[in-house]
Structures are given as C-alpha cells and as structure tokens.
Amino acid sequence: MTRIYANTQVLGGGDRLAVRGDLIVDAAEMQDAETVDCRTLARGGGIIAPGIIDLGVFAVDPAACRAGGITRVGLMPDQSPILDDPGIIRRAALMGKPELWVHPLAAATRGLQGKDLAEMAINQAAGARAVATGRRGIADSGVMRKVLAYARDCDLTVIAHAEDAGLAGDAVATEGETAMRLGLSAAPAVAEALAIARDVMLAEDTGARLHFRQVTTAAGFDLIRRAKARGVAVTCGITPAHLLLSDIAVSDFRTYARLSPPLRDEADRQAALAALADGTIDVLASGHDPRGPEEKRLPFADAEPGMSGAETLFALGMMLVHNGTITLERLFELLAANPARVLGIDAGILAPGRPADFILINPTLAWQVDAEKMAAKAGNTPFDGTPVEGKVLKMWKGGTEIGG
C-alpha cells in the first residue's frame, strides 16, 4: 500500500512523507497514493519525526516503547539467561516483532564474568548488533584489549560501562556532601574517568569502535573530547536523569533516584549539559530498567539501581529543547540517527529507501509524569509528578501504525 502523510512538518525537511510498503519513498514520484491528513490525526498540529532507537535497555517492554515512540531497542546482555549464546540471541531478536524490533547486544565475555571471550562472530551471525560489557566494566585490561581487537575484526562496536570497579566497589552514591550527610557508601566520580582513560587508550591501540553507554562527569567528557580530536572511534551516551538531576535528588533516601552510575554533583551535571550542546555526547537513551516495589521500596543501599525511562525519554529530551540547550533536530540525532550508526543499522532518519519507522509528535503538548499510570512493567521513575511538554501521538513501524 502507498500512502502520503501530509499537512504536517516532516523533521529533516518538507511537509509530507511518502511510504510504500515498509519503506520511505520519494514523494515527488508518488501517484494515486492514499493521503493521510496528519493535521486531523494530531488534532490541529504535529511533526513527523524518526522512530526513536533506544540504545541500551535492560528489558523488552513493548507497552512502554509504544507510549514513548520507540520503534527499536538495543537490548543489554544482562538478561536471564545472559545473551552470550547464539540461540539465546536469536530468540531475543524475535521478542518484540513486528511492532518493536529488538537488536541484541551480545555479552563481550562468557556469562559477563570478564574473563573468557564470548563467541562474537557466531553471536553476530545470530543477530547481535554490538557487544557489551554489561552493567559493569571488564577489570582485566588484557581481556578488554582482546575484546576490542576481536570486535574490530568482526566490525562490531564495543559498548562499555565506564566505571573502575576497584574504586567503585559496592558504593551506592557519588562522594560528596549529599552522600556524606546521608551516610551512604560512596565512590569518587573519578572512577568513571579512570575507566574511560584505559578503554580509550586500548581502543586507540587496537583501532576498535568503542561506545560508552553512559558518561556523566566533567573529567569523562574531557577525555572523550580529546579522544575524538585525535581521531579515536569513540562515542558516548547519557540518560535524561543525569542531565536533569543532581545527587541532591537522592535526599530523603529516594530509592527511585538510585541509578547506575549514580547521580553526580551539580558541577558534573552542568558539564554534561555543555557536552550535550557541543556535540561530545552522541546518544540520549532511557536506560530503561523497570523495577517493582519489591526491589525499590527497600533501604537505599539494598534497593536495586535503575529507572523506568522508555515512555518519558522523548518528553524529558524536549525539556532540553525548550530550555535552549539543543534543537529539535539535534534531539533526534541523539535519539535516532546516532544510535542507528552505533548499531550499524540502516534506520534513524526519514529518507527514501529507509525503513518507514516514524512517529507523530506534538512538541508542546503539556502533561505530567505519573508513575502509577505508566505503561511500563514498573513505574520506578525519579520524575514522578514532573510537568513536561512534548508527547508522542502516533507511531508507525515498517509503515504499519502501532496501537492505532
């Protein structure tokens, strides 16, 4: 079927989007196509934008993704069972289809133990789009160098967790006034920079592609900037929480603000905003990790880290557009085009020949985050009650409307 989605702005240029089957086509060559009035769908306004690609989620959560305009996810290997076997990876890749495409990130080492390399080439053939170290980094530098070299030979990106385990230990917060006042076990923020420095040097030495799933400190961003300037194939991501919240959010032992890496001080938050604005940060991801009350309503040190972020990712990203930190076009580079590049998939932009994965958004529609009404498997969000502007109204995956 051939359709033209008209009477709306299309991000990237134009006022209509043409779709034939599951692909975007050139609207100028379309004849006798069905016209869909997006102004009516959006009740008076709206913008067509690429479907969001959420890089580094910990759970396949179709309802949350549908609410958040996410058409593809990069699934972290920290599953049960761990994504270190071709059969498991093949099953993971089929989990959300057809409405949500899951791109598995294979474990870099067997069982994510940081010791023996996993079979990257076999896992790649089974559908893995990258390899990842999981929730923790690889402590052994020799093993990490082998991971990078093997991934380079397989033409895969390594997605790393930026934290020195020797410094971080079992800490639940970042060293500073807040952690000291609450009596929380804390690690210095430099634990992140130490891990980044080592892994960047190893990536430079091996010629591998390296992506840090989250970078959250001024020292870390400085290392990434300098590495990029030298031509190292390094990229990095961040979540809205580390851009919009500081460690003050854990006051009163708020376990919903216990994240990994932990929230940083205000100086690091400001450094993150500057890194977002100057292009140092490549990816904005949700870090979607739904946790029920049995895992969150515990003493702070016993609660599991993580937040449910898929359905709030776009709206929280729009906060950065509304306050002038980035443009709407830059937001969708962070949400779609750049994650697609990291994963090596032909998606993330609205152009002829690309998959017809797109969303209809209203960038100014006001609403309020309500943890109890979230579509996610669990509503563990530190943004409960936060007023936001920006809503996903409709979503299409491969030219088919999802949830419509």
Q: Is the pLDDT of residue 279 over 60?
A: yes
Predicted pLDDT at 283: 98
Q: Is the pLDDT of residue 116 over 70?
A: yes
- Pick from 355, 337, 341, 288: which is nearest to 52 by CA? 337
Predicted pLDDT at 162: 97
User: How far is Cα 162 from Cα 202, in angstroms, rounded to an integer?
Assistant: 14
Mean pLDDT of 278-295: 96
Mean pLDDT rounded to a whole number for the chain: 95
Mean pLDDT of 200-222: 98
Range of the domain at 269: 52-348+365-387
- Number of structural domains in the chain: 1
Beta carbons of 269 and 245 less than 8 angstroms apart: yes
**Mind listing the pLDDT tens digit for each residue in 234-252?**
999 999 999 999 999 999 9
Q: Six-digit token pair at 306? A: 């993580």
User: How far is Cα 330 from Cα 49, in angstroms, rounded to an integer?
Assistant: 12
Whether 199 is covered by a domain: the verdict is yes
Mean pLDDT of 66-71: 97
Q: What is the CATH number of the domain that holds 73?
A: 3.20.20.140
Residue 191, Cβ density class (10 Å: 0-12 exposed, 13-18 middle, ≥19 buried): buried
Output the CA torsion sign for 112, 169, 189, 243: positive
Q: Which long-range contacts (CB under 8 A, 24 or more apart) does 20-25 make?
A: 20/399, 21/356, 21/399, 22/355, 22/356, 22/398, 22/399, 22/400, 23/352, 23/353, 23/354, 23/355, 23/356, 23/399, 24/350, 24/351, 24/352, 24/353, 24/354, 24/355, 24/356, 24/358, 25/352, 25/353
Encode burial over 288-308: b for 16+ CB neighbours within 10 A, e otherwise.
Answer: bbbbeeebbeeebeebebbbb
Whether 285 is covered by a domain: the verdict is yes
**Mind listing the pLDDT tens digit for each residue in 266-276?**
999 999 999 99
Mean pLDDT of 153-167: 97
pTM for the full predicted model: 0.96
Predicted pLDDT at 309: 97
Predicted pLDDT at 403: 79
pLDDT band at 72 (very low <50, low <70, confident <90, very high): very high
Cis before 261 (ω within 30):
yes
Whether 286 is covered by a domain: the verdict is yes
**Mind listing the pLDDT tens digit for each residue in 121-145?**
999 999 999 999 999 999 999 999 9
Predicted pLDDT at 135: 95
**Mind listing the pLDDT tens digit for each residue in 289-334?**
999 999 999 999 999 999 999 999 999 999 999 999 999 999 999 9
Whether 309 is covered by a domain: the verdict is yes
Mean pLDDT of 194-213: 98
Q: What are the backbone angles phi and psi of residue 53, rounded to the nearest 5°?
A: -115, 110
Can you say how many angstroms the Cα of residue 184 is from the centroid of all Cα atoms in its chain? 28
Q: Is the pLDDT of residue 30 over 80?
A: no
pLDDT band at 396 (very low <50, low <70, confident <90, very high): very high
- What angle do helix axes 218-229 and 190-206 make, rounded to 10 degrees? 20
pLDDT band at 404 (very low <50, low <70, confident <90, very high): low
Whether 334 is covered by a domain: the verdict is yes
Can you say how many angstroms the Cα of residue 109 is from the centroid of all Cα atoms in its chain? 22
Choice among 96-100, 194-198, 318-322, 391-395 with the minimum mean pLDDT: 96-100
Q: Is the pLDDT of residue 199 over 70?
A: yes
Predicted pLDDT at 22: 94
Predicted pLDDT at 60: 95
User: How far is Cα 220 from Cα 174, in angstroms, rounded to an integer?
Assistant: 14
Mean pLDDT of 366-394: 96
Mean pLDDT of 49-64: 97
Whether 210 is covered by a domain: the verdict is yes
The residue behind tokens 């870099």 is 108
SS3 readout for the chain: CEEEEECCEECCCCCCEEEECCEEECHHHCCCCEEEEHHHHCCCCCEEEECEEEEEECCCCHHHHHHHCEEEEEECCCCCCCCCCHHHHHHHHCCCCCCCEEEEEEECEHHHCCCCECCHHHHHHCCCCEEECCCCCCCCHHHHHHHHHHHHHHCCEEEECCCCHHHHCCCCEECCHHHHHHCCCEECCHHHHHHHHHHHHHHHHHCCEEEECCCCCHHHHHHHHHHHHCCCCEEEEECHHHHHCCHHHHHHHCHHHCCCCCCCCHHHHHHHHHHHHCCCCCEECCCECCCCHHHHCCCCCCCCCCECCHHHHHHHHHHHHHCCCCCHHHHHHHHHHHHHHHHCCCCCCCCCCCECCEEEEEEEEEEECCHHHCCCCCCCCCCCCCEEEEEEEEEEECCEECCC
